[in-house]
Structure 1
Amino acid sequence: MSGNLGLDLAGTVGRRRTGRVDLLATPADLARWTVAAGLLDTEPAVSDEDLARTAALREAVYRLASAARAGSPFEAADRELLNRAAGRAPAGVRLRDDGGLERTGDLGAALATTARAAVELLGGPRAALIRECEASPCTRLYVDSSHRRSRRWCDMRGCGNRAKAAAFRARDRRDG
C-alpha cells in the first residue's frame, strides 16, 4: 500500500493524532501481518516481548520517515534501532519445484527484511518522495511514485474514495 515495507509497518498504527488505532495489538495480529505483508508464508511464533520490540521498531521507522519528509535530521536512537534490526539475517526466499516462491524465517528475519526496506528508502533518493495521506484523520505515510508526484492519499480505494465522495457531497449541497 505505501510502496515500502518499512512504511507498511509504520502504517499499522492509524489515526496517530486522533484516537490512535493499533492494528498490531496482539502477538497474533503481528504473526498474521507478517504473512499479509508478504514477508513469510507461515505465521511465526510471536511473544509479548516480540510485540513490544516490533512496536519500538515501528515507531522508530515512523519518526525517521517523518523526519525525512520534513527535511529534519534523524534521531540517533531511532537510527541505531533501525540499523540493528536491518543488520539481522533477512527472511529467506527459495524457488519451489513448481516455480513459485517460498518465504521462510522467523519474526526476526521478517523484521530484518522490513527494516532493510526502510533503510534503503530513508538512505536513498526516494526518501524525498515520502508523503502523508491528506485524508483526515489518516496519518499513514507512503512513497509517492506517481508520474507527476501528485498522489494525495495512502490508498485510493479507502482514503481517496472517502475524500472524493465527501468533496462530491459538499459540492452537491453547495450547488443545491
Structure 2
Amino acid sequence: MIHAFPCGTLPLDFVGTLRARRNDAPMEKLASAADLDAWFVESGLLPDARSSGARDLERAVELREAVYALVWARLHDRPLPEDPVATVNAYAAAAPLVPVLTDAGWSRVGGAGQALSQLAREAVEIVGGDQAALLRECGRPECTQVYLDHSRGHRREWCSMATCGSRMKAAAYRARQRADAEA
C-alpha cells in the first residue's frame, strides 16, 4: 500500500496526496497515472482502476488543489474562492461512479473521470455542509493533512494518532525529559 487514509473521508484523504504542503519540497503521492490508479484501488473508491492516463492525472491534481483551496478557506473563515468553487462544481456535475450489485456484494464501476466526480460531490457536501465546522488541520508542523474532527469535545489535534500523534507525543516526552535533566 503506497497511500495513507488517516481522515476517514475520501476527499480529505485525496487532498493529503500532496504531503507536507508548506515544506520546501512537498511529497507528491500522485506522481504518475499508476499512482492515481493505486489511490483509487487502495481507497476502495474504484476497486478495478487501472486505466488512468496523463490527462486523468492532470485533472486529479487540479481537483485536489481546488478542494484544498476550499478547505483552506473554511479553516481560516474566509470566503470560498471563485475559481476553486467553479472547478469543484464542474467535476461534481460530471457522471459519478455506478454502483453495481454482484454475488459478492456491491462495487463501483467507471473510469477516473467518474471517480473524480464522486470525490468532488463528497467534497461539496463537506465544504458546503455542517461538516465544514469540523474541518481541522493536523497539529504536527510538518504535516498539512486535513480531517474532520468527530472526537468528543472536538479536541482532536492530529490527522492520525498512529503517525503524527505518536511523533508529537514522543517529541513532547523527550522535551520534558531534557528539561528535567537540565533542572
Please give the TM-score of this superposition, normalised by the length of structure 1.
0.95
Which aligned pairs between 1:94-133 and structure 2 lie closer than 5 A?
Answer: 94-98=100-104, 100-133=105-138
1:86: which partner in 2? 92
Q: Which has the higher contact order (CA 8 A, sep 6+)?
A: 1
Runs of at least 5 residues in structure 2 that lack an aligned partner in the other structure:
1-5
Are 2:17 and 1:2 aligned? no
Runs of at least 5 residues in structure 1 that lack an aligned partner in the other structure:
none
Cα shift at 1:103:
1.9
Identity of aligned residues (%): 43
- Equivalent pair of 2:66/2:84 in contact (CA under 8 Å): yes
Amino acid of the residue matched to residue 138 of structure 2?
Answer: C
Q: Find the aligned partners of 2:168 and 2:116 in 1 and give their Cα distance.
A: 33
Q: How many residues align?
A: 175
Which aligned pairs between 1:20-169 and structure 2 lie closer than 5 A?
Answer: 20-98=26-104, 100-169=105-174
- Which deviations, in whole Å up to 9, do the C-alpha atoms of 1:139-169 show, x marking residues without a partner? 1111111111000001111111111111111
Give the 3-state SS of the residue equivalent to 1:45 in structure 2. Answer: coil
Please give the TM-score of this superposition, normalised by the length of structure 2.
0.92
Give the 3-state SS of the residue equivalent to 1:73 in structure 2. Answer: coil
Cα shift at 1:62:
0.3
1:173: which partner in 2? 178
- Equivalent pair of 1:4/1:121 in contact (CA under 8 Å): no
**Displacement over 2 Å in runs of 4+:** none
- Equivalent pair of 2:67/2:88 in contact (CA under 8 Å): yes
